[in-house]
Structure 1
Amino acid sequence: MMAFWTEPDFDEHELVQLVHDSASGLTAIIAIHSTHLGPGAGGTRFWHYDKPEGAMRDALRLSRGMSYKNAMAGLPMGGGKAVVLLGPGAEKTPELLAAFGDAVNALGGRYVTAEDVGATEADMVAISKRTPHVCGLPADDGSIGGDPGPFTAMGIYHGIRAAVAHKLGKDSVRGVHVAVQGCGSVGGGVARLLARDGATLTLSDIDAKRAKALATELGSQVVASDRVMGVTCDVFSPNALGAVLDEEGIARLDCQIVAGGANNQLARPEHGAQLAERGILYAPDYVINAGGIINVGLEYLCRQHGSPCDINEVRRRIAQIPERLEAIWRESEATGQSSDVVADAMARRLIGRG
């Protein structure tokens, strides 16, 4: 493993820990960016990386993103993230999940985990048998917690409506063309909410069958995953893996708005300015996609404090996402700084690093 402090994405992280347990086969990185506002909260990604540098990069970038996301969402939580490195074709075993739960527990509450890419509610249940510092546990109807995906989708839906109003001057998404990249829990949820309101959709996913099934359900078009960024549309909504907005990707865009749930959409910091130069309104990812952490974060805080969990409070906080986006866009227009730079500055002030 490389010297993480020389990585360009290292940002005075409070803790970067490599965890290895030979008995279970666990190799993981736990990164805590900030605990200024509270315990570092962020999900665990189970993924196969061709090179360990990719895992370290994800852990550093995603944990910093969680610091910013939780701060901008008004949660008393800091930012953390974990990455479990899986071998090609490797499966999560009970032993591996138990070992990871022990690693989280050893941090004494400095890090709180939840679902991320490759993780399920069942995984969180298994991890919760080894540590109380976990959220996203199964929830009964009408209570908070569980799969954060639908709540993330809800926030993105609100954010797209706000972007359409701000950029296009429309108070509805009816007839607005949205190209949705990724049709999983988040992207699929966004597509269904937009379709309900009469948006025109073009869908894409690396799993072509999944995209086609959702398109059939919603009466939408489908394009191949390598073509979706070039679709002529009003809104491009990235809801798969990050770093899609690089020089090549931005050059291909034929839209007025980028608003979606993928984490770390900008491959590098300068790419936010490139979007702005093209006149494309960008909704900073960690602001628009905060619905999931609002849900599971409040689940964890309520459980820790022994207080009742109110689903209406979750919905109320998610409905505030457009107000935060509007504040960012107004300052961006007033200062000439790109929206990602404005959002980062706001978040850093909130975590005491401004």
Structure 2
Amino acid sequence: MSTTLTILPAHEAFDIGDERVDQHEKVVYCRDDASGLRAIIAIHDTTLGPGFGGTRFKAYDTERDALHDVLRLSRGMTSKNALAGLPFGGGKAVIIGDPATQKTPEILRAYGRFVEALGGLYVSAADYGTNSDDLDIVGEETSHLTGRTPAAGGSGDSGPHTALGVFVAMRAAAETLWPEGLKGRTVGVEGAGKVGGSLARLLVDEGADVIVADPVEAARRRVSEATGGAVRTTSSLDEEHVDVYAPCALGATVTVERARALGARLVCGGANNQLPTQDEDAALHAAGILWVPDYVANAGGVIHLADFERLGRTSDEVAAHVGRIADTTREILTHSAEAGMPTGAAADELVAARLAAGRG
């Protein structure tokens, strides 16, 4: 049995899909034979502070797929944290395996030891396939994480703040398209989880006509009950016509074809990595479809974790910080319109400016 931590050389310049390993500061392969752990930690940029991002537990088809995912996710966290005004850089981790059958306390503890071995260069949180209870176990081996249960000193569920960030970003974008904003507009929320469910409630209160899609009937029922039956639910948005498409499940669903099929003029949601490729940013812009980059809109969760658990801010301060996502959205959309460039490119220019200021 062996435990190994392998760091890819910084000059390792090979392509993984649309990502390059040498554009990340550190990529770490973690292997622990005793527990069966196979994980990758990617640290993209620490200009503004330690890499900060969640841990995804997922059954990937190949190790290459896992590497591609973690590289994209960590790069996205650099942008998210910079645009959110947080003193953190971009980092992300993936544990390779099926969380339903392979997630064990031994694997989580082994993962915690690898996070600890990085000495604070990476601060972890939860992501797809992991939750606060898992982080309590990881936290037995490292203090470099956020998002544990309140009983273990954590700040509780960040989902409502993620939803609030998506909502204020969506409202700010909608106001550039329609005088009445979201009121009376049909919004299709894809995913009835914690973020999608909370977002649906906010949209109902705003006066939107809300459709929530999820293949799981129990999830649809929970959202319907939570909104007093004010939303319409369905297993899929495929046959619907909406003004706003809000992807709040897994990523890579936002394409020109998808938005056109739905009739959406605005795309804004809580899912990560919404575009299958970066080329889709320009395609959406050319088609006249307004996309709010996911790393802008869904920053409420990371703001929640960083503000409460790392920066010691109050509930009111956290809510105000999340509310400022609307200002960032307006700044990006204004720059996009004035420069005639896609919204993702406009957001990336703002990220580059903030990183340059950090280096200075």
TM over 0.5: yes
Partner Cα separation in structure 1 for residue 273 and residue 194 of structure 2: 18
Choose which of 208, 218, 221 in structure 1 pairs with 2:232: 221
The Cα of 1:280 is off from its aligned counterpart by 1.3
Provide structure 1 residue ranges, at least 5 long, that are not aligned to the other structure.
303-307
Q: What's the TM-score once normalised by structure 1's chain length? A: 0.91
Q: What is the percent sequence identity of the aligned residues?
A: 40
1:95 is aligned to 2:106: yes
User: Does the C-alpha gap of structure 1 residues 229 and 57 become closer, same or farther in structure 2, counting only changes over 3 Å?
Assistant: farther
Picking from 314, 331, 334, the partner of 1:330 is 334
Determine the structure 2 residue equivalent to 1:351: 355
Of 292, 300, 304, which aligns to 1:295?
304
Alignment pair present for 1:20 and 2:31: yes
Q: Give matches, 1:46-195, under 5 Å.
A: 46-87=57-98, 89-139=100-150, 145-171=155-181, 173-195=182-204
Answering whether residue 14 of structure 2 is matched by residue 5 of structure 1, we say yes
Q: Cα offset for 1:37?
A: 0.3
Which fold has the larger relative contact order, with Cα–Cα distance below 8 Å and residues 6 or more apart in sequence? 1
Partner of 1:305: none
Q: Which residue of 247, 253, 256 maps to 2:262?
A: 253
Deviations along 1:242-284, one digit per CA (max 9) or x if unpaired, are: 1112354344231111010111111111111111122111111
The 3-state SS of whatever aligns with 1:317 is: helix
Aligned residues: 344
Q: Secondary structure of the equivalent of 2:70?
A: helix
Aligned partner of residue 41 in structure 2, secondary structure: strand
Question: Could you list the runs of 4 or more consecutive aligned residues of structure 1 that deviate by over 6 angstroms after TM superposition?
Answer: 1-4
**1:5 shift after superposition:** 3.1
SS in 2 for 1:294: helix
Counterparts of 1:244 and 1:53, CA distance in 2:
21
- For residues 312-353 of structure 1, what are the alpha-carbon distances to aligned partners after superposition, in whole Å with 9 as ceiling and x for unaligned? 111111110111110111111111101011101211222239
Partner of 2:273: 264
Residue pair 1:144, 1:311 contacting (<8 A) in 2 also: no
**TM-score of the superposition, structure 2-length normalised?**
0.90
Select 1:209's aligned residue among 218, 238, 251: 218
Q: Is the 8 A contact 2:24 2:44 kept in 1?
A: yes
In the alignment, the residues of structure 2 paired with residue 24 and residue 144 of structure 1 have an alpha-carbon distance, to the nearest angstrom, of 26
After superposition, the Cα gap between the structure-2 partners of 1:88 and 1:146, relative to the gap in structure 1 and judged at 3 Å, is: closer
> Distance in 2 between the 1:259 and 1:279 partners?
14
Structure 2: distance between partners of 1:149 and 1:76: 21
Structure 1 CA distance for aligned equivalents of residues 131 and 48 of structure 2: 27
CA distance in 1, matches of 2:137, 2:59: 21
Opposite residue 272 of structure 2, the aligned amino acid is: N
Preserved CA contact (<8 Å) 2:308 2:314: no
User: Is the aligned partner of 1:312 residue 2:316?
Assistant: yes
CA contact (8 A) 2:99 2:129 kept: no
**Pairwise mapping of residues 266-285 of structure 1 onto structure 2 (< 5 A)?**
266-285=275-294
Distance 1:46 1:310, change over 3 A: same
Q: d(CA) in 2 for partners of 1:344 and 1:231?
A: 32
Once residues 183 and 117 of structure 2 are traced to their aligned partners in structure 1, the CA distance between those partners, rounded to angstroms, is: 50
Asked if 2 retains the 8 angstrom alpha-carbon contact of 1:260 and 1:285, the reply is yes
Q: Distance in 2 between matches of 1:9 and 1:334?
A: 29
Match status 1:233 vs 2:242: yes
Aligned residue for 1:113, secondary structure, equals strand
- Give the residue type in structure 2 aligned to 1:322: A
The letter for the 1-side match of 2:32 is D
Whether the 8 Å contact between 2:189 and 2:196 is mirrored in structure 1 is yes
Residues 187 and 243 in structure 2, CA contact (< 8 A), matched pair in contact too: yes
RMSD of equivalent CA atoms: 2.2
The residue matched to 2:356 in structure 1 has which SS? coil
Cα contact 2:148–2:154 (8 A) shared by 1? no
Q: Is the 8 A contact 1:4 1:56 kept in 2?
A: no
Gaps in structure 2 of 5+ consecutive residues: 1-5
